[in-house]
Structures are given as structure tokens and as C-alpha cells.
Amino acid sequence: MAMRSALRGLCGKTSSLPVGPKLQPIACVPHRKFHEDFLHKQKNPEKPTVLITGSLGQLGQGLAKLLRERYGRYNVIMSDIIKAPDHILEAGPYIYADILDFKNLQEITVNYRIDSIVHFSALLSAIGEQNVPLAMRVNIEGLHNILELSNQYRLKLFVPSTIGAFGPDSPRNPTPDLTIQRPRTIYGVAKVHAELIGEYYNQRFGLDFRSLRFPGIISSDTHPGGGTTDYAVAIFHEALRARQYECYLEPDTMLPMMYIDDCLRSIMEFMELPEDRLKMRTYNIQAMSFTPRILAEAVKKYVPDFEMSYKPDSRQAIADTWPMKFDDSRARADWNWRHEYDVDRLCQVMFDALMPKYNTEQRSQASSRS
């Protein structure tokens, strides 16, 4: 609220708002310059300033919250190309950043004095297949911009990778860190490219590039952005809302999954590691693997009359080429990666978060009917 009220009303006009006691009111301060200076003064100078691209997606909002708890509210700049809801604007800095606009990215890096980037902007697997030219632009050209920017300004860079970076020729159970990678989606091809070119920039220019290959991520308060593992989020909502769910994968399709808290903590821990702890630049990390059938059984413990039906669509072909389980022994050995959530704990935390919401909805529907 402090930042919003401080910035309110500043449109290049005289203002007497957040000028400290010794300063004179500022005449004709350009709004943006004021905004940036204000934020800089609020930052914790002992901590890095982190820019999160694509931060309004499934992962960005939670990561911003976690990093702000650790580094301070104004040290974490959220960005995206879509309008943010009020609660995001109230929580801390949020700005427009299109990863396809290199000059815009340079300006942000200089003006906000960015030290690290967490690069989340992407079109995910299923959405990417629906618009390959756009996926190439966002996932490949956009990555080039972020990489070049990070190299020019010596920023630390985190780019998430995925189970989708593997394909039908990779060993699937388990999939090691270093193996054949011949993915069949534009999403996967772009991620392999990101891993390789990031490692190349590290060897060639000393760029501090870091990447983790994530399983499908499950969260209760943000929605997935069009991936092949989205069913593992939708099932909880539909179990509570409709007591049934039609799954777009076959019942025995095993995929690796992870609860969002493990995912976000892994990013923070991995980014904070001293460089000499890293023996590789890209690591697999694993938490749990399950099939739709196994998850449906676990859901029934909370919603006994829940029924799952199956109607595979184009996402089945993608899932059939992906790892069933990651071998993450190197992450566990090199930097002590540990997951905290298995299937049972996942169900517990998802239902704890979602039940009150759906109970309230059902109560209000019932009262409007009566």
C-alpha cells in the first residue's frame, strides 16, 4: 500500500508525496523515473534485485512471494505482458516487460539495477503445439534476448527446464541427467536449446547460467498455463466442484510431478548456491511419480464418491514420450536437493487449501436456490 499511495497522482505534475523531510517537492518528475528511484530507495542493499519474467503464470506469483520474504519486498520485480490484478500491485513492484523487446529489457535492467533474472516467460507444451510460430518466438527468440541481456549486464540467470526436454528415445524410467534428448514438441526443442546455449554461454563467456528440469508442477492458488500435466491440478478442483473428472490421459500414464512449494524452494536454494558447488549447470529434480489412476485413488480418500473417466486427447502422445521418473541423484549429491511432498502430503495440502473455497461456493449456491 505504501508504494501505491506514494506513486498515486504522480503524472509529471508537482507532488509533495514521498519526498523525505529534507527534500523539496519535486516539480515535473517524470512518472517512470520517480517510480524507479522510489523503488531503489526501498530496497535492501544487502540482497540481490531479482527480475521475474512471465511472473503472472503458475510459478511466478509464488516465487515472488517467497523471494520477497527473504530479500525484501522491493528487491523482487515481477513482470509480464498482461495486466496484473490489484493484489499483485499491492504486494510489491510489478512492471510490463515483453521478452521479445530487447531495448525494453535493457532499460529495465539499468533503471531497476537488476542483479538476477528468473526467466519464466514461455508457451507451455500443449499451448505451444497450437501455435508453433509464436512458441518459437517466445521460447527461443525471447530466451536469446534474456541470455544476451544477462551476459551484457553480468546477471545471474535461472531458466527452468522440464521433463518435456526429453523424447521417445530417452530412457524413461528413470531418466538420467545426461542422456539422449530428442523431444517431439516445440516446447521441448526450445528447452533443450535453452539448456545447451545456456551452458555454452557459461563456458564461453562465464555467464552464471543455472537450470533445473522440473516435473509437472501442482499448485492450489494459481492455474497451470496449458501443459500436459495440467490434469493433476484440475482433478482437485473438479473432485470438489463436480465429484467427477474426465481425464485427457490414459489411466496408467506415469509422469513425474512436484508440489509447488518444493519447486519454488528448489529455485531459491539452487540460485543461492556458490558457483563452486555446481558440477553441472542443468540438473533433474524429482519429487513423486504417479498415474491418473493412482491420483484418483488418493483423491477418493477425501471425496469418496469421486469418479474419474478417461478420454485421451493429443496430450497423450506428448506424455507417452516423456520421462516416467527422473533420476535426480546428482542434484541430491551435489547440492543436497530434498523434496518434502509425496502423493499423500500433496492431497492433504491441496484439499486443505481448496475445500474451504468450494464449501463456501456450494453454500452460497444452495442459499441462492432456497
Ligand X SMILES: NC(=O)c1ccc[n+]([C@@H]2O[C@H](COP(=O)([O-])OP(=O)(O)OC[C@H]3O[C@@H](n4cnc5c(N)ncnc54)[C@H](O)[C@@H]3O)[C@@H](O)[C@H]2O)c1
Report the site for ligand X in 62-81 (rule: CB under 6 A): 80-81
Closest CA to 116 of 148, 160, 89, 155: 155
Report the site for ligand X in 180-219 (rule: CB under 6 A): 214, 216-217
Rounded Cα distance, 62 and 328, in Å: 23
Query: At 162, phi and psi to the nearest 5?
Result: -160, 165
Provide the b/e sequence for 94-120 (b: ≥16 CB within 10 Å).
Answer: bbebbbeebebbeebbebbebbbbbbb
Taking CB under 6 A as the rule, which mask of x and - marks residues 213-252 in contact with ligand X? Answer: -x-xx------xx-x-x-----------------------
C-beta of 18 vs 215, nearer to ligand X: 215
Per rule CB under 6 A, is residue 52 in the interface with ligand X?
Answer: no
Residue in 99, 143, 155, 295 binding ligand X, rule: CB under 6 A: 99
Residues in the interface with ligand X (CB under 6 A) total 29
C-beta of 202 vs 229, nearer to ligand X: 229
Catalytic member of 112, 187, 231, 245: 187
Shortest distance, position 364 Cβ to ligand X, whole Å? 28
By the 8 A CB rule, do 253 and 316 touch? yes
C-beta of 137 vs 357, nearer to ligand X: 137
Per rule CB under 6 A, is residue 268 in the interface with ligand X?
Answer: no
Closest-approach residue to ligand X (CB): 57
187 flagged as catalytic = yes
By the 8 A CB rule, do 92 and 76 touch? yes
Per rule CB under 6 A, is residue 140 in the interface with ligand X?
Answer: no
Preceding omega of 174 cis (within 30 degrees of 0): yes
Residue 308 to residues 94, 126, 244, Cα–Cα distance (Å): 40, 22, 6
Closest CA to 54 of 138, 126, 147: 138
Report the site for ligand X in 115-134 (rule: CB under 6 A): 120-122, 124
From the CB of residue 64, how many other CB atoms can be counted at a distance below 10 Å? 26
Record the cell numbers describing residue 264, joined without a space.
519454488
By the 8 A CB rule, do 60 and 80 touch? yes
C-beta of 109 vs 162, nearer to ligand X: 162
Q: Which residues are catalytic?
A: 187
- Chain positions contacting ligand X, by CB under 6 A: 53-54, 56-60, 80-82, 97-100, 120-122, 124, 138, 142, 160, 162, 214, 216-217, 224-225, 227, 229
